[in-house]
């Protein structure tokens, strides 16, 4: 039995996971990230203890505790070096949480926890190498090579969202211009759709926007599925951008699998089919087997399952 915790900007999810990757108990609490780090980490510790209580588990029955965290980590030292989400600087996450539960604690980037979860129990089962691209507010990246999590020599790798798609293009939160994230995140989809809706006042997109005050990824897809030409045009461009970034990943890394995560992965083949078509056409080597491209299967559970199994894959 293991405990995995996914620390997010909005909520913290903890789960008890068995050796077959089943979640036996799960609980989500609000992060309230403006609080001091000690208060947040105390809540994470108490979350773990309450999950054990729920299943009547003793501390000896827990193999380890794994934590997926945003930011830049020193995973060997158990430290969050820096997180812009939390404004954390050199927080001893492992040291502090060990006050609550005296078991080995492992720390890893949240995106890497998600790719590990999908590789153990989701879309990338049985695969040696996989790159996960998570489309959300930003674009996250997780990489497994040779069945191990990849982090680079300084543990700061996998920032796939911040590779250039259009150098000199849209201003990115990272300070550069034209990053993949600026074109393939859900934020970007909404920006592109709102611009397009402005130009086409009789479009369904424009109608949704007026009705709801803003567009969402979901209603852009809904409008396209109902045949709205404006939404179809937006998604055609959006799928192309996603495919451009995936083609880049494939040309450089050729992983066995590419997994697309985030809420949009629920769109399944509607999202995947046009992306696969672009990739097949654009990839550099057309004479070899292509990586499989699929949607994440575990949703929010990927992070806690991956976190629970960090012990074996770092």
Q: What is the DSSP letter of 160?
A: G
Bridge partners of 132, per DSSP, are 142, 259
Q: Which of 254, 277, 261 is nearest to 6 (CA)?
A: 261
Minimum CB–partner distance for residue 214 and a second copy (Å): 27
**Per-position b or e across 56-81, b if 16+ CB within 10 A of its CB:** ebeeeebbbbbbbbbbbbbbeebbbb
Minimum CB–partner distance for residue 240 and a second copy (Å): 8
Count residues near a second copy (CB under 8 A): 52
Minimum CB–partner distance for residue 247 and a second copy (Å): 7
**In degrees rounded to 5, what are phi and psi of residue 19?**
-70, -10
Our finding on whether 43 is near a second copy (CB under 8 A) is no
Instruction: Determine the 3-state secondary structure of 72 from DSSP.
Output: strand
- For the chain, the straight-line distance linking the first and the last C-alpha, in angstroms and rounded, comes to 18
Our finding on whether 78 is near a second copy (CB under 8 A) is no
**Contact (Cβ atoms closer than 8 angstroms) between residue 297 and residue 130:** no
Q: What is the DSSP letter of 38?
A: H
Give 136 or 299: the residue with its C-beta nearer to a second copy. Answer: 136
Our finding on whether 195 is near a second copy (CB under 8 A) is no
Please state, in angstroms and rounded to a whole number, the distance separating the CA atoms of residues 172 and 274.
26
Our finding on whether 82 is near a second copy (CB under 8 A) is yes
Our finding on whether 254 is near a second copy (CB under 8 A) is yes
**Contact (Cβ atoms closer than 8 angstroms) between residue 311 and residue 63:** yes
Binding segment for a second copy (CB under 8 A), chosen from 7-15, 21-29, 54-62, 167-175, is 167-175
Our finding on whether 230 is near a second copy (CB under 8 A) is no
Q: x/- site string to a second copy, residues 135 to 154, per CB under 8 A?
A: ------x-x-x----xxxxx
**Contact (Cβ atoms closer than 8 angstroms) between residue 196 and residue 158:** no
Please state, in angstroms and rounded to a whole number, the distance separating the CA atoms of residues 183 and 161.
9
Please state, in angstroms and rounded to a whole number, the distance separating the CA atoms of residues 208 and 25.
38
Please state, in angstroms and rounded to a whole number, the distance separating the CA atoms of residues 21 and 268.
23
Our finding on whether 126 is near a second copy (CB under 8 A) is no
Give 49 or 81: the residue with its C-beta nearer to a second copy. Answer: 81
Minimum CB–partner distance for residue 96 and a second copy (Å): 20
Minimum CB–partner distance for residue 275 and a second copy (Å): 15
Binding segment for a second copy (CB under 8 A), chosen from 44-52, 98-106, 226-234, 287-295, is 287-295
Give 162 or 218: the residue with its C-beta nearer to a second copy. Answer: 162
The binding site for a second copy (CB under 8 A) comprises: 72, 81-82, 128-129, 141, 143, 145, 150-160, 162-168, 174-176, 178, 183, 241, 244-245, 247-249, 251-256, 281-282, 284-285, 287-291
């Amino acid at each position: 039995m293991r405990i995995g915790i996914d620390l997010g900007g909005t909520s913290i999810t903890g789960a008890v996971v068995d050796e077959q990757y089943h979640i036996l108990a799960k609980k989500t609490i609000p992060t309230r990230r403006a609080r001091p780090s000690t208060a947040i980490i105390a809540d994470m510790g108490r979350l773990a203890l309450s999950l054990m209580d729920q299943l009547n588990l003793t501390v000896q029955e827990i193999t380890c505790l794994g934590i997926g965290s945003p930011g830049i980590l020193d995973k060997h030292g158990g430290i969050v070096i820096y997180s812009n989400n939390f404004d954390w600087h050199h927080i001893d996450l492992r040291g502090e949480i060990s006050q609550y539960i005296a078991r080995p604690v492992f720390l890893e980037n949240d995106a890497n926890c998600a790719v590990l979860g999908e590789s153990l129990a989701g879309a990338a089962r049985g695969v040696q190498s996989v790159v996960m691209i998570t489309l959300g507010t930003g674009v996250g990246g997780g990489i497994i090579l040779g069945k191990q999590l990849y982090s680079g020599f300084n543990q700061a790798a996998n920032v796939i969202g911040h590779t250039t798609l259009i150098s000199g293009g849209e201003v990115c939160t990272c300070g550069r211009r034209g990053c993949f994230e600026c074109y393939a995140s859900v934020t970007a989809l909404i920006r592109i759709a709102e611009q397009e809706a402005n130009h086409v006042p009789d479009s369904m997109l424009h109608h949704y926007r007026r009705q709801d005050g803003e567009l969402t990824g979901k209603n852009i897809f809904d409008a396209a599925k109902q045949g709205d030409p404006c939404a179809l045009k937006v998604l055609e461009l959006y799928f192309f951008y996603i495919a451009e970034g995936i083609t880049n990943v494939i040309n450089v890394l050729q992983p066995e699998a590419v997994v697309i995560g985030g809420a949009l992965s629920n769109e399944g083949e509607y999202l995947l089919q046009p992306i696969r078509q672009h990739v097949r056409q654009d990839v550099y080597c057309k004479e070899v087997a292509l990586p499989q491209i699929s949607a994440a299967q575990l949703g929010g559970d990927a992070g806690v399952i991956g976190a629970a199994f960090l012990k074996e894959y770092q």
